[in-house]
Amino acid sequence: MPPCNPGVGRVPPQATQQQPRRRFSLVRCVATCLIALVVLVGLAVLITWLVINPKKLGYTLESGAVHNFNLTNNHLNATFDFVLRAQNPNERLSVYYDHIESTVIYEDQTIAFNTVDPFFQPHRNISRVKSKLVALNLAMSPSTSKDLMVEKTSREIQVDVHFKTRIQVKVGIWKFNHGTLRIVCYSATVHLTRYKHFDKVPCETEL
């Protein structure tokens, strides 16, 4: 029998050390590529933002009126007409509006509701969104009904007007989902007397 050689079948120490080094080099290469990708994406977003120079969309409740107002036995019938002025001051950014939910709120109670059809607003544009909201035999709490009757005697009613929609923004040929836009116009005074001047109300936005 040949003599037993204790060195046969053993992996040289140098070979066992090379495997962890190769794995470490691969991990470092992947990490470097990921960091470079993140940096490139960040630079692309920054350059795009600087080129587009996005400006905030502006909204104003331009006119408002109430017709056929009748409050009897804590039930309300009325028609509210509002015009929302939407301003897009951007030079390269256009906006797609989905169906717009419009709501009239008095003392935290919704008293009228309607939806407005979708529309497209090009860049550097002012659009006017007309909304007719109807309260049809709406049941109201006794306390809210009482407060509304008090305001009725002064021939004017103060309400909050809310708008909610989903929007997309368009830059060149690219379109991006931009989430849900909420527009709130606080303390809008509508007059029961016809042809009374309406004070414009600047609206707040949340996106």
DSSP per-residue codes, 138-200? EE--HHHHHHHHHHHHTTEEEEEEEEEEEEEEEETTEEEEEEEEEEEEEEEEEESSTTPPPPP
> Could you tell me which of 82, 95, 171 has the C-alpha nearest to residue 126?
95
Cα dihedral sign, 123-203-108-153: negative
Category of 124 on φ-ψ map: left (φ > 0), alpha (ψ -120 to 50) or beta: left
Range with the lowest mean pLDDT among 12-16, 84-88, 96-100, 155-159?
12-16
> In this predicted structure, what is the pLDDT of residue 44?
55
- 4 in any annotated domain: no
The three-class DSSP label of residue 108 is: coil
Per-residue confidence at 174, pLDDT binned at 50, 70, 90? Answer: confident
Q: Are 45 and 67 in a shared domain?
A: no
Summarize pLDDT for 22-47 with one digit per residue, the tens.
Answer: 666 777 777 788 787 776 665 555 44
pTM of the model: 0.74
Q: Are 68 and 41 in a shared domain?
A: no
- 133 in any annotated domain: yes
Helix, strand, coil in percent for the chain, rounding step 5 = 25, 50, 25
Q: Are 195 and 117 in a shared domain?
A: yes
Summarize pLDDT for 17-26 with one digit per residue, the tens.
Answer: 555 666 667 7
Q: Are 76 and 175 in a shared domain?
A: yes
- 165 in any annotated domain: yes
- 183 in any annotated domain: yes
What is the end-to-end Cα distance of the chain in Å, rounded?
A: 85
Q: Is the pLDDT at 12 greater than 80, yes or no?
A: no
